[in-house]
Amino acid sequence: MKRIYLDHAATTPVDPSVLRAMKPFFSDRFANPSSFHSAGLDAKRAVTESRKRIADVLHAHEDEIIFCSGGTESDNLAIQGVVRAKRQTPNAKCHLITSAIEHPAVLEPLKRLAKNREIDLTILPVDAYGLVSAKDVVKAIKETTVLVSIMYANNEIGTIQPIQEIGREILAWRKKRDTKYPLFHTDACQAAGVLDLDVEKLHADLLTFNGSKLYGPKGIGVLFVKRTVKLEPVMYGGGQERGLRSGTENVPGIVGLAQALEVAEEKKEKEYTRLLKLRDHLTIGLLKIPKSRLNGHPCKRLPNNVNISFMDMEGEAAVLYLDAKGIQVSTGSACASAKLDASHVIRAIGMSYEAAHGSIRFSLGRSTTMADIDHVIRVVPGVVKKLRHMSPVKVEMKYFKEEDEIKKNGRLKK
Amino acid sequence: MPDVKARDGKQSWFYSDEVKDHFFHPRNFMEDEASYGDACLGMVGSPACGDVMKIWIKVDPASERITDLKWQTFGCASAIASTSMMSVIVLENGGMTLEEARRIKPQDIMERLGGLPMRKVHCSVLGDKALRAAINDYYRKAGRNDLIEVEQGRIIDRDLKVTDHDIEEAVLDGARTIEEVQEKTKVGTGDPSCIPEVEQLIRFYREKHFGKDE
């Protein structure tokens, strides 16, 4: 049976050229970049060169690229690092701002800090499409605000945030009051390789991305830290990465990530157009199923993300039925995670529990073809029908009106 | 049916073969509601908490045996498999008597399923409740109100019909926090307004059974 992998938002396969670039650094050029001999120097050069390649894509300085173990660590370093640095001043108050649909790697450290009364936290709501408004961000800023963290693109529903606008507003706020705070962090894990990562344009002070969503290796991530940002490390040790992230550098991972980012940048434009066509085709095809609804923004969304709620059935059951038919997708719903709650993202965009429990995410990638999409469009209706057949829940149609234009075009033109 | 197997040959799925079998090939689910209009009906759960179960039974009045049982479930794989397995248990060997059926426990269903992953245990606790509600409906229709059994204890969560007794059982079973009690009972996941009361009950039963110093 052919297997169709539509879970690229969870992780991507490693690109062959990335694997090739990494291979020598396991057993051949394996030395520790901190060693003073020629082998160490060779490894160090590989790290330095990779750092430069990444900095070039971000329009950043080399010393602004900090390598970490992945997106979660980068997000934690950004958040905890800023708070720790600020709290070195006695009696310093810290207020942070984030959105309701952030990844747990941002929300959980923030909630923990708030619970420990180390920070005040504002969690901004999003609109029905999952958009954060730049105006809301500015309104929430206080004298004590040290950091605003808003994700670039959402992992579940694919909504792309107005990061440039938010960054510009925050910068203006700072300039007006001649202060260094609040800093602006964005989690760009889903955006890397798809959207513009130019940190100057985005006015980002801190930016996270990782290898595993970028056709690079797992276990490697980057935190861009602007030179002017004061950060206190979360881990202490040998003082690697400007003292911000101690620990022997993951040289193969670093080399792989640089290669992966470059390949993604090369392919970006063509791949964007290709994916968009596939995405819209899939959206149109799936919305023909009665009582279905597209979650997320009808046009400001990642080109590889289709998230649809099918009423009257439960997502996990559908994922398992689809898997048995060779189609691998994800759900953000209750049973997929260890929690009992329905997806916090789908709930935050104002959807009912019924819709949240029946949401399925199809995330396309480089290997996805039009034939795959057609196959999925053929298989999904049967699975949905079977599960609905078994279900006693019958939500009334009036609760999820969908615009005809989305049903026809897969998105809105605007 | 293709399967997902790990390289070492061990199963990499969360679910036992029995669960998968009942999930992919559910037994006795309701296909033709129209012809069950006169059957006795029980329903429990709400979409908010992720599981809803509805059970129809037909009873032979002479022997008081359940001769037919049909169900519908909105829920994850374990919820579907649990209801399906329960229908098999009730109907096998000529059908259980109403008294026997009333005594079915979630543990009986789980045992026959070859176990469920810990975090899925809560999915199996609703089927038996829906069945008891259907049995009550039979007695109500038969005009024998004296035989209607209300859920043991006081109902704390109206949506899920979780009682104080259920919470006590969960605490005795090792649950110590609201999250752990929810894992076992789902209490408050549909209608969170009962959570403060549940938290009080957890404290009460912890002290009752394990002392203040635990």
CATH number for the domain harbouring residue A273: 3.90.1150.10
From chain B, which residues contact A within 8 Å (Cβ)?
1-2, 4, 23-24, 26, 29, 31, 43, 47-54, 72-80, 119-120, 122-123, 182-183, 186, 189-190
pLDDT in tens, B15-72: 888 999 999 999 999 988 888 988 999 988 777 667 889 999 999 999 999 999 999 9
- The answer, yes or no, to whether residue B152 has pLDDT greater than 80, is no
pLDDT (tens digit per residue) in A236-249: 999 999 999 999 99
Same domain, A222 and A300: no
Mean pLDDT (whole number) for B154-160: 83
Tally of domains in chain A:
2
Burial code (b: 16+ CB inside 10 Å, e: under 16) for A253-279 equals bbbbbbbbbbbbeeeeeebbebbbebb
pLDDT reported for residue A403: 64
pLDDT tens readout for residues A40-68:
999 999 999 999 999 999 999 999 999 99
pLDDT at residue A100, rounded to an integer = 96
Q: How many CA atoms lie within 13 A of A101 on its CB side?
A: 29
| Confidence (pLDDT) at B48 | 67
Catalytic annotation, residues of B: 49, 123
- The percent of residues in chain B predicted with pLDDT above 70, rounded, is 86
Same domain, A259 and A140: yes
Instruction: Please count the residue pairs, one from chain A and one from chain B, whose beta carbons lie less than 8 angstroms apart.
Output: 77
The CATH code that applies to domain B13-149 is 3.90.1010.10
Nearest to B29 among A314, A354, A390 (CB): A390
Site from A309, A316, A327, A343 to mutate, B interface, most B CB atoms within 10 angstroms: A316
pLDDT at B158 over 50: yes
Asked whether residue A113 is domain-assigned, the answer is yes
Per-residue pLDDT tens for A2-53?
899 999 999 999 999 999 999 999 999 999 999 999 999 999 999 999 999 9
Shared domain check, A226 and A204: yes
CB contact under 8 A, B74 and A312: yes
pLDDT for residue B13 is more than 60: no
Q: What is the mean pLDDT of chain B?
A: 83
A24 & A173 share domain: yes
| Full residue range of the structural domain in which residue A291 is found | 4-9+268-409
Interface-testing mutation among B21, B71, B74, with chain A (most A C-beta atoms within 10 A): B74
Q: Could you tell me if A155 and A64 lie in one domain?
A: yes
Residue A7 near chain B (CB below 8 Å) = no
Q: Contact A314/B79, CB-based, under 8 Å? A: yes
Mean local confidence (pLDDT), B120-147: 85
pLDDT tens for A74-108 read: 999 999 999 999 999 888 899 999 999 999 999 99
Q: What is the mean pLDDT of residues A171-180?
A: 96
Q: What is the pLDDT of residue A333?
A: 52
What mean pLDDT is predicted for residues B90-101? 94
User: Could you say which of B74, B77, B119 has the minimum Cβ distance to residue A392?
Assistant: B74
Instruction: Among A239, A264, A289, give the residue marking a domain's end.
Output: A264
Residue of A205 and B197 predicted with greater confidence: A205
Label residue A341 by pLDDT band (50, 70, 90).
low
Chain B residues in contact with A395 by the CB 8 A cut-off are 47
**Better pLDDT: A223 or A345:** A223
Contact B43 A392 (CB under 8 A): yes
Burial of B4 per CB tally in 10 Å (0-12, 13-18, 19+): exposed
Same domain, A318 and A244: no
- The answer to whether the Cβ–Cβ distance between A312 and B79 falls below 8 Å is no
Mind telling me how many Å the CA of A198 is from chain B's nearest CA? Answer: 42
Q: Which residues of A are catalytic?
A: 335
Contact call for A317 and B54, based on CB within 8 A: no
Return the pLDDT at A413. 65
* Residue A332 binned pLDDT confidence (cut-offs 50, 70, 90): low
Inter-axis angle of helices A370-390 and A315-324, nearest 10 = 130
Residue with the two structure tokens 């747990």: A104
The structure tokens 């938010």 sit at A166
pLDDT at B115 > cutoff 50:
yes
Chain B contact set for A357 (CB, 8 A): 47, 50, 74
Q: How much is the average pLDDT of B78-83?
A: 90
pLDDT at B6: 35
First to last CA, chain B: 49
Is the residue at A414 inside a domain? no
All CATH 1.10.10.1100 domain ranges of chain B, comma separated, are 151-214
Q: Which helix (H) or strand (E) holds A75?
A: helix A71-86
**Residue A217's pLDDT band (cuts 50, 70, 90):** very high
Per CB-CB distance under 8 Å, the chain A contacts of B52 are 391-393
Q: Do A392 and B77 touch (CB under 8 A)?
A: no
pLDDT at A251 over 90: yes
**Co-location of A260 and A297 in the same domain:** no
Rounded Cα–Cα distance for residues B208 and B214 (Å):
11
Percent of chain A whose predicted confidence (pLDDT) is above 90: 83
CA closest to B48 among chain A residues? A353
Task: Check residue A337 and give its pLDDT.
Answer: 46
pLDDT, tens digit, for every residue of A276-286? 999 999 999 99
Q: Please give the share of chain A, as a percent, with pLDDT higher than 70.
A: 95
Residue A315: closest C-alpha in chain B: B76
Chain B residue numbers touching A342 (CB-CB < 8 A): 48, 50
Fold of B151-214: Arc Repressor Mutant, subunit A (1.10.10)
Q: Can you tell me the distance from the alpha carbon of A163 to that of A177, in angstroms, rounded to the nearest whole number?
A: 21
Which pLDDT does position A271 carry in this prediction? 97
Residue B11 has pLDDT above 50, yes or no: no
Same domain for A256 and A277, yes or no, is: no
Q: Is the model's pLDDT at A346 over the cut of 60? A: yes
- In this prediction, residues A197-202 reach a mean pLDDT of 97
Q: Are residues A120 and A260 in the same domain?
A: yes
Tell me, what's the pLDDT at B5? Answer: 37
CATH number for position A89: 3.40.640.10
By C-alpha distance, the chain B residue nearest A386 is B24
A401 has pLDDT over 70: no
Question: Do A166 and A57 share a structural domain?
Answer: yes
The pLDDT of residue B2 is: 30
Beta carbons within 10 angstroms of residue A36's beta carbon: 9
- Is B74–A335 a contact, with Cβ atoms under 8 angstroms apart? no
Expressed in percent and rounded to 5, the helix, strand and coil fractions of chain B are 50, 15, 35
Band of residue B1 on the pLDDT scale cut at 50, 70, 90: very low
pLDDT for position B84: 95
Cα separation of A104 and B65, whole Å?
A: 51
Q: Which residue has the higher pLDDT, B110 or A366?
A: A366
Nearest to B76 among A312, A335, A354 (CB): A335
The last residue of a domain, from among A242, A264, A286: A264
**Same domain assignment for residues A250 and A291:** no
As given in the structure block, the two tokens for residue B2 are: 């293709």
Q: Per the CB < 8 Å rule, is A317 touching B1?
A: no
| Whether residue A100 is found in the same domain as residue A23 | yes
Nearest to A148 by CA among A139, A159, A158: A139
Residue A400 in contact with partner chain B when CB distance is under 8 A: no
Q: What is the pLDDT of residue A335?
A: 47
State the alpha helices, DSSP H only, in A130-183.
134-140, 163-177
Q: Where are the domain boundaries for CATH 3.90.1010.10 in chain B?
A: 13-149
The mean pLDDT value for A216-236 works out to 97
Task: State pLDDT tens for residues B45-54.
Answer: 777 667 889 9
pLDDT at A64: 98
Whole-number pLDDT of residue B32: 86
Site from B28, B76, B119, B182 to mutate, A interface, most A CB atoms within 10 angstroms: B76
Q: Are A314 and B1 within 8 A, CB to CB?
A: no
